[in-house]
């Protein structure tokens, strides 16, 4: 069956006035309730519901700020009390899911970067009658783990899109930098690149330590004289790789996955040749909205298939337009 696109999915969402974004913060892995939204119209009249959004975000990764902003806007519209927590360590992410179950939330949206670590606790959630959606990572195992739909980009397809673009531009020796070994989505991205450019090498770095990322990538570029492009799998990683290219005195170009305002500016400037965007704002927004739609009317998006939010290519031809939205935190 053909996968649904986010554009098709958006057609089934209720069209209602939006409120201003609700305030929501988390520190130390503890959830914080969204504050009452103010101004800008009224939320829906459906009863207040509580949704937990649990990600594998690492501190300082701006990608997740965008996901969260989308979730907060949907929460304000849908009269949802949003509990946002995150932890890049798989076991602690599982604990956060258990915490949400104990709080008797009305729905759980969760990333599945390390699905084996979450399968048992997600079964507890579905056994307790809590609906689950997944987002961003784990598309292939989402249904098996009890999620009724998944919002994200097909990571292997995204990797192949990058590989195809690089091959068309004559690159033969990419270095694909993975910042979290074992992350199914990141591994799939580099596998997709390698499928189109067989000379691709994989470089593992510690994404929690940007100083280490920079030094490891610099050493690789100094040693691999034939490396003609280095690929970051997230905007903060890619911005660090730009420093590595300079440090190594390497002629390698820089390409990327994902997006933030700083990276969009680098594409405009020509420092980064392109990125593949998976539209994270939509992932956050649609995940919360889908749980609300399920509660208000039993609606379930996707027909059992993942709802794709990407990939889309951002290069110098369209980066200026994208930058306007990225500066607002919407891309």
User: Is there a single domain that holds both residue 207 and residue 142?
Assistant: no
Same domain, 69 and 197: no
> Given this model, what pLDDT does residue 1 score?
40
How many alpha carbons lie under 13 Å from residue 234 in its C-beta half-sphere?
Answer: 26
Q: Are residues 218 and 287 in the same domain?
A: no
Q: pLDDT value at position 45?
A: 87
**CATH number of domain containing 130:** 3.40.50.2300
Same domain flag for 146 and 290? yes
* Residues contacting 142, CB < 8 A, separation 6+: 112, 134, 149, 150, 306
Q: Is the dihedral of CA 232, 238, 243, 245 positive or negative?
A: positive
Q: Which residues of the chain have pLDDT under 70?
A: 1-42, 329-331
Q: Is 330 within the bounds of a domain? A: no
Peptide bond into 153 cis (omega under 30): no
DSSP, residue by residue, 134-193: EESS-TTTTTTTT-S-EEEE-HHHHHHHHHHHHHHTT---EEEEESSTT-HHHHHHHHHH
For the stretch 210-226, pLDDT in tens is 999 999 999 999 999 99
198 lies in a domain?
yes
Phi/psi at 184 (5° precision): -60, -35
On whether both 27 and 147 belong to a single domain, the answer is yes
What is the per-residue pLDDT for 331?
66
Same domain, 8 and 146: yes
**Whether 52 and 135 share a structural domain:** yes
Give me the pLDDT at residue 323, please: 87
Instruction: Report the number of distinct structural domains present in the chain.
Output: 2
pTM of the entire structure? 0.75
pLDDT of residue 37: 37
Q: How far apart are CA 145 and CA 184, in angstroms?
A: 15
**227 and 98 in a common domain:** no
**Tokens at residue 120, please?**
């048992």
Q: Are the C-beta atoms of 295 and 106 separated by less than 8 Å?
A: yes
* pLDDT for position 270: 96
Residue 84 near residue 68 (C-beta atoms within 8 A): yes
Same structural domain for residues 201 and 295?
Answer: no
Q: Is residue 316 part of a domain?
A: no
Q: How far apart are CA 189 and CA 222, in angstroms?
A: 24
pLDDT at 239: 97
Query: Is there a single domain that holds both residue 115 and residue 179?
Result: no
Determine the structural domain holding residue 92 and report its residue range.
4-153+279-310
Which backbone phi and psi does 57 adopt, to 5 degrees? -60, 140
Tell me whether residue 166 is in a domain.
yes
119 lies in the same domain as 9: yes
Which pLDDT belongs to residue 328?
72
Cβ atoms 196, 164 nearer than 8 A: yes
147 lies in the same domain as 19: yes
Closest CA to 240 of 206, 220, 217: 217
Say what the pLDDT of residue 62 is: 83
Per-residue pLDDT at 15:
33
């Amino acid at each position: 069956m053909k996968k649904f696109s986010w554009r098709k999915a958006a057609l089934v969402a209720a069209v209602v006035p939006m409120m201003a974004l609700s305030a929501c913060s988390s520190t130390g892995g503890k959830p914080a309730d969204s504050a009452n939204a103010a101004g800008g119209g009224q939320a829906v009249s459906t009863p207040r519901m509580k949704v937990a959004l649990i990600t594998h975000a690492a501190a300082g990764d701006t990608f997740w700020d965008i996901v969260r902003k989308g979730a907060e806007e949907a929460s304000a519209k849908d009269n949802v009390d949003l509990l946002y927590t995150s932890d890049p360590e798989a076991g602690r992410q599982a604990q956060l899911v258990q915490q949400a179950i104990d709080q008797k939330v009305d729905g759980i949206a969760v990333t599945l970067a390390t699905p084996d670590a979450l399968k048992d606790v997600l079964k507890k959630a579905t056994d307790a009658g809590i609906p689950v959606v997944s987002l961003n990572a784990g598309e292939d195992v989402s249904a098996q783990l009890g999620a009724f739909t998944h919002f994200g980009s097909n990571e292997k397809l995204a990797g192949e899109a990058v590989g195809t673009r690089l091959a068309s531009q004559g690159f033969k020796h990419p270095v694909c930098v993975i910042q979290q070994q074992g992350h199914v989505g990141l591994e799939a991205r580099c596998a997709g690149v390698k499928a189109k450019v067989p000379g691709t090498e994989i470089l593992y770095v510690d994404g929690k330590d940007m100083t280490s990322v920079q030094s490891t990538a610099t050493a690789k570029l100094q040693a691999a004289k034939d490396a003609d492009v280095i690929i970051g799998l997230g905007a903060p990683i890619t911005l660090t790789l730009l420093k590595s290219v300079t440090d190594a005195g390497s002629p390698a170009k820089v390409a990327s996955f994902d997006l933030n305002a700083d990276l969009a500016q680098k594409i405009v400037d020509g420092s980064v040749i392109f990125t593949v965007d998976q539209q994270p704002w939509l992932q956050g927004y649609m995940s919360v909205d889908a749980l609300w739609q399920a509660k208000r009317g039993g609606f379930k998006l996707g027909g059992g298939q993942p709802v794709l939010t990407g990939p889309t290519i951002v290069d110098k031809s369209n980066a200026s337009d994208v930058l306007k939205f990225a500066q607002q935190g919407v891309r």
